[in-house]
Chains A and B, each alone.
Chain A
Amino acid sequence: MDNDLTLKIEHLSSGFFTERGYVPAVDDVSLSIGKGQVVGIVGESGCGKSMIARSVMGLLKYPGRITGGSIKLAGQELTGMSDGQLQRIRGKDMAMIFQEPMTSLNPVVPIGKQMREALLLHEKMDKISAKAEVLKMLEHVGISEPKKRYGAYPHELSGGLRQRVMIAMAMICKPKLLIADEPTTALDVTIEAQILRLIRSLSRETGMSVLLISHNLGVIAQMCDTVYVMYAGKIVEQADAYTLFDRHAHPYTKGLMDSVIDLKSNPRRLPAIGGVVPNLLHLPAGCAFSPRCPRAMDRCREERPELEELAPGHLCRCFEEGRERL
């Protein structure tokens, strides 16, 4: 059963070792993605969602480190692998696209050559068939005149085209898992819609699993099968998309949902979550959200709630009294 899962993360913890102490950016997170599934992580900046992506990809830089738990890609344990072993998996079995495509493309190499690199390296293809494969992939992601774009440099492309190139590059070795970290945040809304639709159709066609990280609930709602809500390094709620948007139980999830502006009505004020994100070095003794939570009780400030299953597949980290009524 477990072997059907593309990605299985169990009790993952990772953080930064700084002069002021250990910053627990990801704390005991478990998450799984089935074949062809699109799974979303939603949360605000600093909640640890990007740290999960980096932990999976083995891209944590000093002073960041994985401190516990396991990450299995198609049954294969990734934690404890050497850089060399990870290198062989990155780009082949899993690939990542970032918010700002310009920073992850080499500015002095034509994009076609950059894409070909992975095929030469991982698939041991010869140059001619690799080029043919690249052209096919460029066309697949909706880039017109792929032959002309093959020799183009990154700066000659617009933001939307660059993100398409990044996706094509990530897809070139047909990875089992695509991690998309805020893939459309830097893009305009009309281009964002194009890119999201592209990622979804690629996943449907190839059975590729997607881990989508976003702060935008609209993007999450349009894309994901299962959604994990993160706050201060912990999963606070997880459910399938329909359940989460209709029957969320955690007050933080509710706060996020309420902050989404409805285009049809025109309220005088927006419901806002008061206060600020807690400092991870000095987390409150009880629930991390309790200082901002409108429903917090004494118990919330003293005791840390565990993730509890409310319904099959619907988990929530909140004491029963605090939950939204379902």
Chain B
Amino acid sequence: MALFRSKQDVFSEDLASQIGESQTLGVQLRRMARRNKLAVASAVFLALLTLAAIFVPILSPYDPVIGDASIRLKPPSAAHWLGTDEMGRDVLTRLLYGARISLAVGVVPTLISMILGVALGVVAGYVGGMTDYILMRLADVMLAFPSLLLAMVIMYTLGGGVLNIFLALALVGWASVARVARSETISLKESEYVQAAKSIGVSGGRIIRRHILPNCLPALIVLFTLNIPSAILSESSLSFLGAGVQLPNSSWGLMVNMGRQFLYNAPWISLAPSAAIMLVVLACNFLGDGLRDALDPHLNNE
């Protein structure tokens, strides 16, 4: 996805300069907003969900932990939009409190693994040689483990809790990021503008900061949005299996697990968090696809 243009592209390049098509990040994002309504809707949905999760104490009259025993297992109603659970707690309220952890688990470990992966990948790609070899074999080893299993091992060793989930998922995720960052770096390193910077005498660190990272950025943004769902899904699986978030904290995976025994007489307890997981994952994927189409120069002129 490096912004290299071959000479065969001159035809389309020519057209691009004729009609003033632009390649800067802001313009590309605005163009996506104009063209891809699904991606925009996804972004709006994620933003609203985040706001709701933050302001749920103000928005909801119910307590997420202490229930009202008189209204146990009630189906959705005007008072309780998504019904109540076995302890008489409002499912929607718990869902939004759970969103805090689920969204945080989607974003924070992904961010950590991105930073780690980009740092290692860019260094491996730019320096090359033995450094590259060692770092990439390490990444291969990481990728060879089934990631969920690895996360479970880490969780059982360190114990449950949100911080440990962050750590486990970050450790599992960096390798694939490093690979993408490395291959981007290698193709950018061969680009003429990096060669030009070298011929001026610009230092390696500055070349990475000024030329390689900004030009990797589109690919990394896309990767970020596409990695969030897998982190959310991993957390859900871990919590569902009992290796994740521990009570009284709540995450969507844990809610699905807790509602399992009432699946026949009160299916909303499990279905609401399941649907939430699905919607967030879909929204992230739509947004990621939209960003990829907007930011990938090879698709731009189609």
Contacts and interface: CB of A to CB of B under 8 A. Distances in A.
Determine whether A and B are in direct contact in the complex, meaning some CB atoms lie less than 8 angstroms apart. Answer: yes
Interface stretch (B10-18, B50-58, B266-274, B276-284): B10-18
B8 A23 contact: no
Contacts of B11: 45, 50
21 contacts: A16-B19, A18-B15, A18-B19, A19-B19, A20-B19, A21-B19, A23-B15, A23-B18, A23-B19, A45-B10, A45-B11, A46-B18, A100-B7, A100-B8, A103-B8, A279-B18, A279-B19, A279-B20, A280-B18, A281-B18, A281-B20
Interface string B35-71: 0000000000000000000000000000000000000
A32 interface: no
A79 interface: no
Contacts of A103: 8
Contacts of A243: none
Interface string B258-302: 000000000000000000000000000000000000000000001
Contact of B19 (A45, A62, A281): A281
A23 B14 CA distance: 12
Given A20-B19, A100-B7, 11 more contacts: A16-B15, A18-B15, A19-B19, A20-B20, A23-B15, A23-B19, A45-B11, A46-B15, A62-B302, A279-B20, A280-B18
A45 B14 contact: yes
Contacts of B10: 45
A100 to B, nearest CB: 5
Contacts of A23: 15, 18-19
Contacts, number: 31
A99 B8 contact: yes
Interface in A217-264: none
Contacts of B20: 20, 279, 281
A281 B7 CA distance: 23
B9 to A, nearest CB: 11
Task: Give me the 10 closest cross-chain CB pairs, A-B, nearest first.
Answer: A46-B14, A20-B19, A18-B19, A100-B8, A45-B14, A280-B18, A279-B18, A281-B19, A103-B8, A23-B19
A128 B56 CA distance: 77
A16 B302 CA distance: 12
Nearest to A98: B8
A130 B266 CA distance: 72
Interface residues of B, number: 11
A100 B7 CA distance: 9
- Interface centre among B15, B34, B302, by most chain A C-beta atoms within 10 angstroms, is B15
A19 B18 CA distance: 12
Interface in A13-62: 16, 18-21, 23, 45-46, 50, 62
Nearest to B20: A20
Contacts of A21: 19
B90 to A, nearest CB: 47
Contacts of A100: 7-8
A21 B302 CA distance: 16
Nearest to A18: B19
Contacts of A99: 8
A23 B17 CA distance: 12
Interface string A58-69: 000010000000
A73 B7 CA distance: 31
A223 B125 CA distance: 49
Interface string B1-30: 000000110110011001110000000000
Contacts of A19: 19, 34
Interface in A177-221: none
Nearest to A278: B18
A18 B14 CA distance: 14
Contacts of A20: 19-20
Nearest to A54: B11
A50 B19 CA distance: 18
Contacts of A18: 15, 19
A17 to B, nearest CB: 11
Nearest to A185: B7
A20 B17 CA distance: 12
Nearest to A280: B18
Contacts of B14: 45-46
A20 B15 CA distance: 12
Contacts of B15: 16, 18, 23, 46
Interface string A271-297: 000000001110000000000000000
Interface string A85-121: 0000000000000011001000000000000000000
A131 B156 CA distance: 67
B12 to A, nearest CB: 10
- Interface centre among B14, B18, B20, by most chain A C-beta atoms within 10 angstroms, is B18
A45 B8 CA distance: 12
A280 B302 CA distance: 19
Nearest to B34: A19
B28 to A, nearest CB: 13
B33 to A, nearest CB: 13
Nearest to B13: A45
Nearest to A186: B7
A161 B9 CA distance: 23
